[in-house]
Structure 1
């Protein structure tokens, strides 16, 4: 499992080298998420349903990092080539001063 810090993810997004998958529930996602993130809630998470990232790194995240780590475990069990998540989740993102987008 690879963890990226908020500043590293921001740099990856600015360079268009990351695709973010938010594994929080739809109401949490609508309340605020990283711009461009795709919502795939852990409650119905299926590694086969992950979006195709092409050359980009797929980065999972949640509120604090626990659910995204659980999703990574599911990816490993499904032999999906996804191993990266945001350390500290949305909490770390906002603590670093980065904005969230509201709405679905």
Structure 2
């Protein structure tokens, strides 16, 4: 089996509240720091290892990301965690919130790095186009440069802009506190 069975948020919450299941958040640390389900175990997909999981392997494990896409994509790795029963939360954190269930929100945490990349790249393309039409056609090169960078990021799986944004002061401070919080058991 290489696909995960889905479970809706209400049923997942019932299983978690009864102690029969645990919830595992596979989103990255910046996403988790901004918002997460109370009591969720955080095991980022980027450093995913079956040994990172709680010893409650006799319990049902419910995995989630933001929307369900990353969880579905990581199904073979998730199925290898050794839990007796494994599910993916339908629509991820979005489905949890749509069901009206509680999340912990840290408004002091910056938005996720990938959203920062999207905003920055979008603004650079927009500025390049506006300046290209109003000041000099040479500014269109800025939009082309950003497009080439995004293409390279997609093909290679690395993103220079994300790496640069991750070391910005507003992200370093929050990431350091998220790591400390996670080490203490959230």
TM-score range, shorter chain: 0.7 to 0.9
- Normalising by the residue count of structure 2, what TM-score does the alignment of the two structures yield? 0.50
Query: Alpha-carbon deviation of 1:57?
Result: 0.8
4+ residue runs of structure 1 moved beyond 4 angstroms? none
Could you say which residue in structure 2 is the equivalent of 1:80? 82
Counterpart-to-counterpart distance in 2, 1:80 and 1:71:
15
Counterpart-to-counterpart distance in 2, 1:85 and 1:79:
13
In the alignment, does 2:65 pair up with 1:50?
no
Instruction: Say which structure, 1 or 2, has more relative contact order (CA 8 Å, 6+ apart).
Output: 1
1 or 2, which has the higher strand percentage? Answer: 1
CA pair 96-79 structure 1, distance change in 2 beyond 3 A? closer
Unaligned stretches of 5+ in structure 2?
A: 107-177, 179-186
State whether residues 63 and 89 of structure 2, in contact with CA within 8 Å, keep that contact through their aligned partners in structure 1: yes
1 or 2, which has the higher helix percentage? Answer: 2
Could you say which residue in structure 1 is the equivalent of 2:97? 94
User: Which of the pair has more CA radius of gyration?
Assistant: 2
State whether residues 45 and 71 of structure 1, in contact with CA within 8 Å, keep that contact through their aligned partners in structure 2: no
Could you say which residue in structure 1 is the equivalent of 2:32? 29
- Normalising by the residue count of structure 1, what TM-score does the alignment of the two structures yield? 0.86
